Copies of this chain bind each other. A is one copy, B any other.
Amino acid sequence: MQNLISSMLNGDRRSLSKLVSAIEHGNLDLNLLLNNIHDKTSDSYIIGVTGPPGSGKSTLVGNLINQLCEENLKIAFLAVDPTSPFGGGALLGDRIRVSDFNLSENVFIRSMGTRGSGGGLNGVVGITVDLFAAFGFDIVIVESVGVGQVDIDIMNISDTVILTTVPEAGDEIQILKRGLIEIADIFVVNKIDRPGSSHIANALEEEINSRGRDIDWIPPVILSQANKNIGIDLISEAIQKHKDFLKKSGGIVTKRGLNRDRQFISLVENNSVELIRKLLNSDEQIVQLRNKVKQGVINPYIAAFELNELIGLRKK
C-alpha cells in the first residue's frame, strides 16, 4: 500500500489506476492514503460539470479536454455514475472521445459508480479528486448526471461548476434556475442547432441579472454545439476567467474552505444514515415496528415519530 502510494506520487499511472480502484471498492487504508496526499492537493483546479441526461455533457467534456490539452495542461477526468455500483470502462469509452496521443500522455480518464464505501458519493469522489490532485494533474474534471444530491456533492468539491442544459428544457428551466443559479458558475446551452436556444439563454441571463449574489462573479451563459466543437473555446475561456477571478479576489480560499465544510457535513450525514440502517435491520423492537408498518397497521409517518422517541443521536 505504501509502495503503491509512493510510486503514484512518483508519477506512475498504473499505481494511480490501482489506487482509484481500491478507493472505489473500499479496500484500502484511507487514513494512510489521505495522510500521504493531504498536503499535495492544492495546485489542481477542479471543474464540476453537471446537467440533465441528453444535454451532451460527455461530448462537451471530451472536446474541452482536447482544447485544454492544446494548452499543455495535464487533465484527469472522472465520470460519476450515480446509479451504478461500480464504474467500468466500456461505457465511458463510447462517451468520451479524446485522441490516443492525449490519452497516453496527458489525460487520465475513469468512470466510477457511487455505491462504494467511504461515505457515499461524496467520500469516494472527493478522495479520488484529491488523489488526482496529488498525482499532479493541472485540471481535474468531474462529470455527473442529474439534478439531485449527486450534483450537489459534485459542486461541493469543485472550484468552477458548469451547468449544461438544452433548448428544450425551456418549460422546466425555472426549476433548474431556482435550484442551481446560486451554485453554477458557468451556464452552457448546448445543442443550439435545435429551436429554443436563444429563448432559454435569455431566460437564464434575466434570472442571473435579477438576483443579488454574494460575490461579484456574474455567471456567463454560453451557447454551444459540442458535437461540432462550437463554443468549446468560449467555455475554456470562461473557466480561465472564473479561475482568475477566484484567485485575484481571494475567493478561492473561502470557496475551498466552504467546500471542505460541506464535504465534511455530507460525510457525517452519510455515516449517520449508515448507522440508522444497521439499527433498522438488527434491533428486534424496530423490526417489529417495521412489520406493523408493512401490514398497514400503523402509518409510516406515525411510526417514524415513534421511533424518534426510541432512538437518539448523541455524543459519547
Contacts and interface: CB of A to CB of B under 8 A. Distances in A.
B265 A277 contact: yes
Q: Chain A: interface residue count, which band?
A: 35 or more
Q: SS class of chain A's interface: helix, strand, loop or mixed?
A: helix
A311 B316 contact: yes
Interface of A: 30-31, 34-35, 38, 42, 52-54, 58, 81-84, 91, 94-95, 118-119, 123, 126-127, 130, 145-151, 165-166, 168-169, 171-176, 178-180, 191, 256-258, 260-261, 263-265, 267-269, 271-273, 275-277, 279-280, 283, 285, 290, 293-296, 299-305, 307-316
Contact of A127 (B82, B94, B265, B301): B301
Contacts of A150: 148
9 contacts: A34-B301, A52-B52, A53-B169, A83-B176, A84-B179, A126-B301, A146-B146, A260-B294, A268-B307
Contacts of A257: 294-296
B118 A171 contact: no
A187 to B, nearest CB: 14
B304 A315 contact: no
